[in-house]
Structure 1
Amino acid sequence: MLLAVLASVILYVLLRNSEAVLPDTENDQIQKEWDAQNYEQVAALTGAKLLDEPLNSRNLLYNGIANFYYALTLVNQDEREGHLNSSIHSLRKLLYDPPAGFQQTIWYILGKAYFHKGPYYYDLSEKYLSLAEDSGFTADDILEYLGVIHLDYGEIDSGISYIRQAIQNSPRAVLFLTIAEAYEEQGNTGEALEYYEEALNRSEDSFLRQEASLGKGRTLFRMEEFDRAQEIFEAIIDRNSQSAQAYFYLGEIFAEAGDMVKARAQWREAYNQDRTFRPALERLQS
């Protein structure tokens, strides 16, 4: 839903203000499909037109943006990658002679497309998102993308700074959770605990709440508040008996108390729930 709204806003504001890329008539099929948020069809129609006119700026713009938003709806990784590549291919062509008023949008979508291709492309994602931001383009998620990129680089302080700025525009639970995890990785348990609690207070989503609860439990464990941590992990298991991480940390708590029989039972349960959860396997093999 958010992607569809964001895409519509971008094209409504920008396409309507640039004659260079407006449809020829009100009955233009591409515009109809765009208004219906049928991005797959927009990508197909403009792709066919680009075979005859490969440098048509209107079709390149529609094609680049539609391929990007359609890619984000796909589960199949190969199909997703193909449409991201098509988006980038079309938008990069426009960099040489961007339609009036669209330079910032091209940078913005390019930056996001490169981001979704994965960490190996984060440098290009940062390049284009920064160009968009520095030019005055406003979109709440630019700061979120840049924050995640810097956190991935291991630049925790700058990553947190970007996410903090994003929170000022959109104080969503997932952003508080992101900062909490960054502080936890940094070893700043006080700040981590505060942000995990804020994420819990702001979210009703079961997945986000579980992630925030696990983070809060881990943080309390590292603060050696074992009783509070145990309560949290047991509550998680009551809601989701398949949480390998919750079982694992219960094992850690029992180990700290010197009860290795109970500890190994919890580690074994963690491994049974998720055979790829290496910390549990390593404990059982030690």
Structure 2
Amino acid sequence: MLPLLITTVAMILAGVLIFISMKDREANLAVNYYNAGVSYLQIGEVDKAIIQFQKALEKNRVLSAAHYGLGLAYASKEKYQEAIPELEFALKQRQTNPVIYYNLGSTYLYARDYDRAQAVFERALALKPRIKEIYFNLGWILKEKGDLAGAKENFAKALELDSQYQKARKYLGVLEEMEKEKKKAELLEVLKHFDEKDTEFMIQLSSDQKPGSHRTISI
């Protein structure tokens, strides 16, 4: 699965870097704590980042950027249940930002809440339909749900956007093997209940044969 986007680029894309002056002292402190949290997060000091984001929210409970940063920090420590409400809060304030959708969807995915993850990713694609990672994650979700055709379609779309996207290529191959195994299992199940008087089955079985192939049935 894919990592959350917690790089500098992701933070900028999410519109959460704050370098503005505020007259209100508490608001100023909140921004300072937030910026410190971003700095810690960028160098992998996640525990310190969490402390700074929490301090920012103590000063300003509605600072969506701090909720977003805290959500990313929790998610990077695999504390998905703690991360989800923070990311949801940030999304309510920035409902047109596909990066926040992506990170929230990824967190739902890691928490194995596939239905919510799928819904969030689909909304992200409605905003920005050319993010290959979202198609990959949707493919993964549908694979886990047993929808191999849907999974294959999404992996293929990811590969269309980036022909060098090896993860998508790999799982397309995996799905092809899964489909082959599924067909074999279905055929074996049919053969268990084979009736030599069932001419319709015999015709179907014959039509399934590839030219030059040979199959025998022992009775």
The root-mean-square deviation of aligned C-alpha atoms, in Å, is: 2.5
Note closer, same or farther for the CA distance 1:192–1:106 as it changes in structure 2 (3 Å cut): closer
Equivalent residue for 2:120?
195
Equivalent residue for 2:175?
253
Deviation string 1:24-79 (CA, Å, 9 cap, x unpaired) is: xxxxxxxxxxxxxxxxxxxxxxxxxxxxxxxxxxxxxxxxxxxxxxxxxxxxxxxx
Equivalent residue for 2:41?
115
Q: What letter corresponds to residue 119 of structure 2 in structure 1? A: E
1:102 positional shift: 4.4
1:140 aligns with 2:69: no
Equivalent residue for 1:222?
144
Deviation string 1:224-262 (CA, Å, 9 cap, x unpaired) is: 111111122223323321111111111111111237xxx
**Alpha-carbon separation, structure 1, partners of 2:108 and 2:94:** 20
Note closer, same or farther for the CA distance 1:187–1:147 as it changes in structure 2 (3 Å cut): same
Sequence identity percentage: 18
Note closer, same or farther for the CA distance 1:144–1:214 as it changes in structure 2 (3 Å cut): same
The answer to whether the 8 A contact 2:105-2:120 is kept is: yes
Note closer, same or farther for the CA distance 1:257–1:142 as it changes in structure 2 (3 Å cut): same
**TM score, norm. by length of structure 2:** 0.68
Note closer, same or farther for the CA distance 1:217–1:109 as it changes in structure 2 (3 Å cut): same
1:183 positional shift: 1.6
- Structure with bigger gyration radius: 2
Q: What letter corresponds to residue 166 of structure 2 in structure 1? A: A
| Mapping 1:41-120, distance limit 5 Å | 102-118=28-44
Unaligned runs of 5+ in 2: 1-11, 182-219
Q: Tell me which moved more, 244-253 or 106-115.
A: 106-115
**Alpha-carbon separation, structure 2, partners of 1:236 and 1:178:** 17
1:186 aligns with 2:108: no
1:239 aligns with 2:135: no
Equivalent residue for 1:156?
80
**Alpha-carbon separation, structure 2, partners of 1:184 and 1:153:** 15
The answer to whether the 8 A contact 1:148-1:159 is kept is: yes
Count of residues in Structure 1 that have an aligned counterpart in Structure 2 = 168
**Alpha-carbon separation, structure 1, partners of 2:165 and 2:148:** 19
1:142 positional shift: 0.7
Q: What letter corresponds to residue 121 of structure 2 in structure 1? A: Y
Note closer, same or farther for the CA distance 1:191–1:100 as it changes in structure 2 (3 Å cut): closer
Note closer, same or farther for the CA distance 1:131–1:238 as it changes in structure 2 (3 Å cut): closer
The structure showing larger relative contact order (alpha-carbon pairs under 8 Å, at least 6 residues apart) is 2
Q: What letter corresponds to residue 43 of structure 2 in structure 1? A: K
